[in-house]
């Protein structure tokens, strides 16, 4: 009988990354995978069509836990995931990233004594005001296998004393790289938004703003949109509008000249990335996806987990400072970058599969 793992997922980016590993698991047929969807980021784009188009296995369990405070959400997830684990009796649990679903899955596995693997381990923003930072630190500390995307992630864990723990720490590279490569050809065939917008190739700026540190601070949000309006005077700006940001713009009476569009699916986002000039974002995942599509990125945060992008000049951290945003925009307009650098590894999904298999035997 094949050993069983339970993968705990809650956000669309986690499903996209997990799909890489799921395909490899099915290819080798050495592991049985049970997928739990907590419902943390449930929306219309997480419908059955999403799983079909993305070739992602449909979840075996849907917990439908969302729209709650951090404590209530994590607590309910912990309770429900524990019930699943007691029923399924897996040999290991796999979690991804830094969401409340990640932490709840990690706690449930740890308290039941089930070996735990954390994909995207070791990342740090060093900002303890971020819920994600707390989630990733706690998850790393109770994991049995830490699968790290970068050398910096390894260094972070070393500084925290993991050399003295029994935890296995492995550098695998970044699984998102596999996902972007795999889905690029499907995006070409299935994406529609880029064509519908009739945008000039390589002559528009793609923007996403959604983090609470920006949306919940009117001064920051106003400064960011003031900068975007100035950029709009030079080049079209396209912003798929997150519901939280939409609400904040209305609450703070912020008007903007940039082109606001409805949130887009993964294929459409890949096509927008492929054809834009540069990216402005406060998203962590989009920073790397920009790099994988050879686009520079301006980060509207005060820190980033992906420091290697900054160190190599592919990203600039500007916070909500209008002057810095505009300076970074002008810099990337006039400077060509060499994206032919291997920052995130190769055959990442296969490496993760092999390390999890070792955990099971």
- List the one residue out of 107, 117, 115 whose CA is nearest residue 90: 115
Q: Which of 37, 41, 210, 353 is catalytic?
A: 210
Pairing of strands 205-208, 168-171: unpaired
Q: How far apart are CA 235 and CA 194, in angstroms?
A: 16
The SS3 of residue 7 is strand
Contact predicate 315/138, CB 8 Å = no
DSSP state of 10: -
DSSP symbols for 222-243: HHHHHHHHHHHTTS-EEEE--H
Measured between alpha carbons, how far apart are the two ends of the chain, in Å?
13
Q: How far apart are CA 119 and CA 19, in angstroms?
A: 13
Contact predicate 81/103, CB 8 Å = no
| Catalytic site includes residue 210 | yes
Q: How far apart are CA 173 and CA 152, in angstroms?
A: 11
* Residues labelled as active-site residues: 210
């Amino acid at each position: 009988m094949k050993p069983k793992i339970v993968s705990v997922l809650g956000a669309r980016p986690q499903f996209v990354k997990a799909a890489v590993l799921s395909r490899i698991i099915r290819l080798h047929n050495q592991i049985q995978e049970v997928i739990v969807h907590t419902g943390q980021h449930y929306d219309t784009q997480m419908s059955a069509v999403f799983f079909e188009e993305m070739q992602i296995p449909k979840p075996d369990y849907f917990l439908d836990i969302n729209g709650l405070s951090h404590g209530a959400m994590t607590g309910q997830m912990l309770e429900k995931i524990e019930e699943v684990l007691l029923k399924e009796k897996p040999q290991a649990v796999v979690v991804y990233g830094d969401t409340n679903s990640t932490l709840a899955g990690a706690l449930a596995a740890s308290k039941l004594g089930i070996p735990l693997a954390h994909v995207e381990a070791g990342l740090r923003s060093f900002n303890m005001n971020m819920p994600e930072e707390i989630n990733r630190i706690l998850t790393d500390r109770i994991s049995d296998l830490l699968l790290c995307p970068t050398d910096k992630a390894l260094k972070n864990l070393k500084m925290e004393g993991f050399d003295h723990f029994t935890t296995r720490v492995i550098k695998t590279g970044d699984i998102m790289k596999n996902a972007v490569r795999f889905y690029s050809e499907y995006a070409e065939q299935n994406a529609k938004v880029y064509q519908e917008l009739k945008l000039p190739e390589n002559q528009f700026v793609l923007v996403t703003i959604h983090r609470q540190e920006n949306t919940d601070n009117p001064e920051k949000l106003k400064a960011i949109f003031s900068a975007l309006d100035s950029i709009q005077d030079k080049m079209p700006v396209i912003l798929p509008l997150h519901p939280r940001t939409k609400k904040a713009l209305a609450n703070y009476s912020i008007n903007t000249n940039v082109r606001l569009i409805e949130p887009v699916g993964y294929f459409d986002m890949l096509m927008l990335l492929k054809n834009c000039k540069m990216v402005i974002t406060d998203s962590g995942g989009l920073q790397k996806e920009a790099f994988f599509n050879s686009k520079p990125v301006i980060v509207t945060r005060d820190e980033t987990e992906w420091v290697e992008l900054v160190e190599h000049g592919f990203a600039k951290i500007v916070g909500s400072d209008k002057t810095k945003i505009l300076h970074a925009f002008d810099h990337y307009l006039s400077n060509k970058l060499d994206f032919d650098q291997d920052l995130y590894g190769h055959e990442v999904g296969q490496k993760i599969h092999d390390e999890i298999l070792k955990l099971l035997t």
